[in-house]
């Protein structure tokens, strides 16, 4: 069975069959014609020789997903979304970690250009990707600075709105003394969250916020929260954490100091990881559409590879109120 047979069955040229089955028909072939070609190919059991076609085009049908860590559930979900869209288009996704997204990511291949078609980078510092950008590969940035250099497209999450939702929720509960527990990571997404928290509190004159930084582990967050809760001055009534892992550590700190969540101290997280409902009380947190981020990132990369304009988007988030927040005590 050949493309000529498909063309004859659909009543079109072989060139049209190549465009449709190569997913390059948009703007060149009508929806009706594309449907007729796909139907004819399915009826005849025809499958194009993608390997031969890609060899001619210099394509490997492989994308590299660079993430700060493999242990974080958020990035696993991003990979799931990217892989789902990639599979629908006959692509594969290789995942590669760059420690904390701040150090330079080494090129995992002798030559990225010969091994990959493009790079998707999630929650990364733009300058961490210098080695791969130098190869001229298309780059799509996820949850990263949209003003970063040389990105063909950006797919972001509205993390600023997420932090505004958290802050408004806590202010409505009467909280005025805040502790911001932030990761000790120089990352655009965490800078945006800090700025959004400060902006949201600016309109409330009697609200105060202190910031404590921590490594992204439960134990480090526990120690940082203990320092803040036992430091000089009035004790914070609300701990705003940039990540659910940090929030879990904050909850441990509150309990170890003989206090209660949320009766004495409210705690909020960010991401809505599985951890958020594994702790007790369950965390009030911001749900991020991680799989959708990965899916949109892969879709954007495919558009770039097909010389179509990619869509740069900011995806909405949702505050999920659970039992770790309550009215401010006293």
Could you tell me the pLDDT band of residue 330, with boundaries at 50, 70 and 90?
Answer: low
* Percentage of the chain modeled with pLDDT above 70: 87
The two structure tokens encoding residue 290: 């991680």
CB 318 within 8 A of CB 286: yes
Residue among 96, 125, 63 at smallest CA distance from 299: 63
Token pair, residue 27, equals: 């703007």
Domains assigned to the chain: 3-48 (1.10.260), 58-156+290-315 (3.40.50.2300), 159-288 (3.40.50.2300)
pLDDT band at 56 (very low <50, low <70, confident <90, very high): very low
Output the pLDDT for position 44: 77
C-alpha span between 268 and 319 (Å, rounded): 10
pLDDT value, residue 52: 44
Average pLDDT (152-173) is 96
This prediction's pTM? 0.79
Tokens describing residue 254: 């509150």
Mean per-residue pLDDT, 125-142: 70
pLDDT, mean of residues 113-121: 78
Asked whether the beta carbons of 154 and 146 are under 8 A apart, the reply is yes
In this predicted model, what pLDDT tens digit does every residue of 10-21 receive, in sequence order?
888 888 888 887
Check pLDDT > 50 for residue 53. no
Query: With 90 as the cut, is the pLDDT of residue 260 above it?
Result: yes
- pLDDT, tens digit, for every residue of 176-214? 999 999 999 888 899 999 999 999 999 899 999 999 999
For residue 102, pLDDT over 70 is answered with no
Give percent of the chain with pLDDT exceeding 90.
Answer: 55
Output the CA–CA distances (angstroms, integers) from residue 37 to 9, 231, 308, in the order listed. 8, 70, 22
Confidence of residue 134 (pLDDT cuts 50, 70, 90): low
pLDDT over threshold 60, residue 77: yes
Question: Residue 165: what pLDDT?
Answer: 98
């Amino acid at each position: 069975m050949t493309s000529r047979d498909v063309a004859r069955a659909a009543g079109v040229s072989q060139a049209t069959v190549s465009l449709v089955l190569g997913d390059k028909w948009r703007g060149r072939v009508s929806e009706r014609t594309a449907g007729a070609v796909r139907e004819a190919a399915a009826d005849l059991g025809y499958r194009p020789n993608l390997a031969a076609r890609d060899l001619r085009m210099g394509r490997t049908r492989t994308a590299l997903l660079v993430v700060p860590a493999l242990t974080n559930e958020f990035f696993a979900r991003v990979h799931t979304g990217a892989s789902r869209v990639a599979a629908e288009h006959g692509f594969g996704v290789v995942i590669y970690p760059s420690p904390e997204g701040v150090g330079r990511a080494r090129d995992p291949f002798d030559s990225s250009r010969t091994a990959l078609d493009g790079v998707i980078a999630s929650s990364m510092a733009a300058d961490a990707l210098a080695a791969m950008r130098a190869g001229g590969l298309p780059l799509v940035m996820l949850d990263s600075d949209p003003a970063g250099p040389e990105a063909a497209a950006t797919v972001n999450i509205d993390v600023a709105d997420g932090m505004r939702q958290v802050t408004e929720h806590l202010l409505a509960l009467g909280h005025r003394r805040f502790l911001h527990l932030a990761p000790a990571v120089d990352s655009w997404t965490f800078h945006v969250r800090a700025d959004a928290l400060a902006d949201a509190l600016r309109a409330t004159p009697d609200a105060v916020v202190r910031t404590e930084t921590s490594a992204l582990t439960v134990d480090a967050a526990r120690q940082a929260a203990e320092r803040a809760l036992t430091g000089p001055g009035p004790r914070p009534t609300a701990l705003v954490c940039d990540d659910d892992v940090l929030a879990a550590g904050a909850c441990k700190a509150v309990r170890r100091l003989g206090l209660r969540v949320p009766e004495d101290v409210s705690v909020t997280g960010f991401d809505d990881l599985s951890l958020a409902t594994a702790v007790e009380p369950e965390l009030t947190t911001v749900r991020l559409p991680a799989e959708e981020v990965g899916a949109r990132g892969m879709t954007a990369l495919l558009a770039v590879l097909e010389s179509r304009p990619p869509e740069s988007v900011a995806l909405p988030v949702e505050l999920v109120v659970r039992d770790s927040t309550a009215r401010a005590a006293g």
